[in-house]
Amino acid sequence: MRGVIAMALVVLLVCYLFLTMMSCTSSGPTFRVEGTVSDAADSTLVLEALTLSGVQPVDSVRLKADGRFAFVVPASPQDSTASPEFYRLRIGRQVINFVVDSLEDIRVEAPLRRMATDYDIQGNEASRTMKTMSQLNIQLQQQLAALDTVGTLSALEKIDRAKLLISQYKQTLKSDFILRDPSSSAAYFALFQTIGSQMLFNPEDDRSDVQFFAAVATQWDLRYPAALRTENLRNIALRGLRNTRQSRPMEIQFDSDKVRETGIIDFGFPDIRGRERRLSELKDNVVLLDFTAYALPQSQQRNILLRELYAKYHSRGLEIMQVSLDADEHYWKTMCEALPWICLHCAEGINNDIVQLYGVSVLPTFFLVGRGSELQARDSQIEDLAKAIEAEL
């Protein structure tokens, strides 16, 4: 009898060790979402992933009296296909949106009755920015609902006021959340804001909205070039550009095959002789793409530094394409006449479609483009320009 018991114990021990080893070898990277929802006893808290194919349930828990919860979630592989992933916590119709950019832990504290507006979230700055965006969205929806109760307004006046409120919110998204940093998770989240079930931005048919999708797509292609979300942004922008090109000619040449392979946005501007020069002409070169204005106080000194780079690397394949946003075309021609590189002029200045798509908000701004028209980095990502050029030649 003792022998049988001993044998059974040995078998159980072996099974335990085997299962433990299997668990250790099969587990991958994870992140943790934890916190407290107060006054929510017996409520079901659901964790959902906001994927490209829709909302997917991840886990759920029935809250106890203390409201504490903790989810351990498998993280996406940290490889070339990785990008920020979006999630939400939900009880009924109340939701808290957040983003996970690596393996950071997320902590949330919220009261049940005001869960969607009065929560505190820790873990990354992007999730806190998304909270601000969500609060503005809820405030807008409350204002729209309040319009229906105003008896002194006609139906047409209510519609006009609703359009104005929506337009103001949309402008806030553009200026405060997208253009401030098109490469951010918050910019991506802003593009897909909805009012009710309708998307606020219309990238299929609205030309101005397409520009914002393309601007974020360009910046995400720098940070997350192989990510599915980046490819999705490109495809949305491409469809929109094709749909809107017939209604108004655009100077953007957005070749779908080229963009899918490299992510670069081609364009053409006139040089000093009036000849259109395109970025795609330089696909066999390493290109320093420089958006500038010669009227800037630092322009002359900066061009001296560019001359040094050009003299050192031009024979090895470096080309400089400098796009001037100066308002005075004659002044531009005078200043660039003796420069050895390709000098182009954009008459519309900072408001030009291409300038907006490249996310240029300050001057000068430059990009390094590798051979094959492969966008490598923008100025804020380059510590030593000479070394970065050396690495591409």
pLDDT tens track for 299-345: 888 899 999 999 999 999 999 999 999 888 888 998 898 899 999 99
Condensed to tens digits (0 to 9), the pLDDT of residues 309-320 reads: 999 999 999 999
Least confidently predicted of 60-69, 147-156, 336-345:
147-156
Q: Give bridge partners of residue 71 from the DSSP assignment.
A: 33
Query: The tokens of 231 are what?
Result: 């490819």
Give the integer Cα–Cα distance in Å for 382 and 359: 16
How far apart, in whole angstroms, are the C-alpha atoms of residue 102 and residue 69? 21
Q: Would strands 318-324 and 286-292 be described as parallel, antiparallel, or unpaired? A: parallel
Q: Is 349 helix (H, G, I), strand (E, B) or coil?
A: helix
Please give the CATH superfamily to which domain 263-392 belongs: Glutaredoxin (3.40.30.10)
Q: Which of 3.30.300.30, 2.60.40.180, 3.30.950.10, 3.40.1380.20 is the CATH number of 30-123?
A: 2.60.40.180
- Rounded CA gap, 138 and 178, in Å? 19
Q: What is the CA radius of gyration of the chain?
A: 27
- Residues 6 or more apart in contact with residue 293 via CB below 8 angstroms: 299, 324, 325, 326, 363, 364
Domain locations in the chain?
Answer: 30-123, 263-392
d(CA 223, CA 391): 18
Could you read off the pLDDT of 86-133 as tens digits, one per residue? 999 999 999 999 999 877 899 999 999 999 999 999 999 999 999 999
Rounded Cα distance between 22 and 128, Å, is 38
Residue 43: CB atoms within 10 A of its CB come to 17
How many other CB atoms sit within 10 Å of the CB of residue 359? 21
User: How confident is residue 80, by pLDDT bands cut at 50, 70 and 90?
Assistant: low
How large a percentage of the chain has pLDDT more than 70? 87
Kindly state the tokens that stand for 253: 């040449």
pLDDT of residue 222: 78
Helix or strand holding residue 11 (H, E)? helix 2-26
DSSP 8-state symbol, 86: E
Q: pTM for the whole thing?
A: 0.61
User: Tokens 């022998």 belong to which residue?
Assistant: 3
pLDDT value, residue 269: 93
Strand residue runs (E) in the chain: 30-38, 44-51, 54-62, 68-74, 85-91, 94-100, 106-111, 120-122, 194-195, 198-199, 268-270, 276-278, 286-292, 318-324, 342-345, 365-370, 374-378
What pLDDT score does 343 carry? 96
Instruction: Quote the pLDDT of residue 2.
Output: 54
* Residue 45 vs residue 212, higher pLDDT: 45
